[in-house]
Amino acid sequence: MTHTPASHLAVAALALALAGCSSTGQQVGQAATTPLRDLNLVNAPIPELLQATQKAPYAMPGDRSCPALAAAVAELDAVLGPDLDAPKGDKPSLGDRGQAEAGKALQRAAEGAVPFRGWIRKLSGAERYSRQVEAAIQAGEARRAYLRGIATGQSC
Query: Global pTM?
Result: 0.59
- The yes-or-no verdict on residue 117 having pLDDT over 90 is no
Model pLDDT, residue 84: 83
Instruction: Determine which helix (DSSP H) or strand (DSSP E) holds 144, and give its type and residue range.
Output: helix 126-153
Give 43 or 28, the one with higher predicted confidence. 43
Between the two ends of the chain, the Cα-to-Cα distance in Å is 60
| Residues whose CB falls within 8 Å of the CB of residue 43, separated by 6 or more in sequence, listed in order | 37, 126, 129
pLDDT at 54 over 60: yes
Could you tell me where the DSSP H helices lie in 21-125? Answer: 25-32, 34-38, 48-55, 66-80, 94-112, 117-124
User: What does the pLDDT average to over 27-34?
Assistant: 58
DSSP 125: T
- Greatest mean pLDDT among 56-60, 94-98, 101-105, 130-134: 56-60
| DSSP state for residue 115 in the 8-state scheme | T
